[in-house]
Structure formats: structure tokens, C-alpha cells
Amino acid sequence: MFNPKTGEVRCSICGTSIGNINGDGNYFALIRTKYCPACKEPVRRDQNRLAQKAKRLRDKQARKLINERNKLLEEENNLLRKQIKELRRKTS
């Protein structure tokens, strides 16, 4: 969290001061920093976990679509096979 009045940047979670844009460090790096080093790691892990969860869901939905499509193709295949059999029977 950035305080425009004081120029201080604090951790969005625990409120620990990360730095002051008027004083130290790189302004742009500091202004983008949201969390202190102690909070950063769990946040990153949490984001990773959420990203993986979302990916698993996407994969699951993709598999479901593929399975449904497979099933339809299989049914179509069976019908075509029957038709071929029928045609052979009629022409012979």
C-alpha cells in the first residue's frame, strides 16, 4: 500500500514498511511492491496453488469435451458401419 502523503510503501498484508519513494531505492520497483519479503512467499504459493487449480479445471473440461466428441464419433462410426453392411447386403 502506497501512502501518497508520506511516500511510504507498506505491505498490503501485514503493514510492515517496505520503503519510502522519497528516500530509498528505485521508485518504480518500490511502487510496484505489494508485500514485504515475509508475506511475499505465502502469497506467491497461494497464487501458484490457485493457478494450478484453475489449470486442473481447464484440463478436466478439455478432457470432458474430447470424451464427448469421441463418443459421438464412435456412434457415427457404428452407424456408418451398419450402413456399409446394409449396402453390401443389398448389392450382393
Contact residues toward Zn ion (CB under 5 A) are: 11, 13-14, 16, 36, 39
**42 or 75, CB closer to Zn ion?**
42
Scored b (16 or more CB within 10 A) or e, 36-52 reads: beebeeeeeeeeeeeee
**9 or 36, CB closer to Zn ion?**
36
C-beta of 4: minimal distance to Zn ion in Å? 20
C-beta of 21: minimal distance to Zn ion in Å? 18
List Cα–Cα distances, 25 to 28, 48, 53, in angstroms.
9, 28, 36
**Rounded Cα gap, residues 2 and 7, in angstroms:** 7
**18 or 21, CB closer to Zn ion?**
18
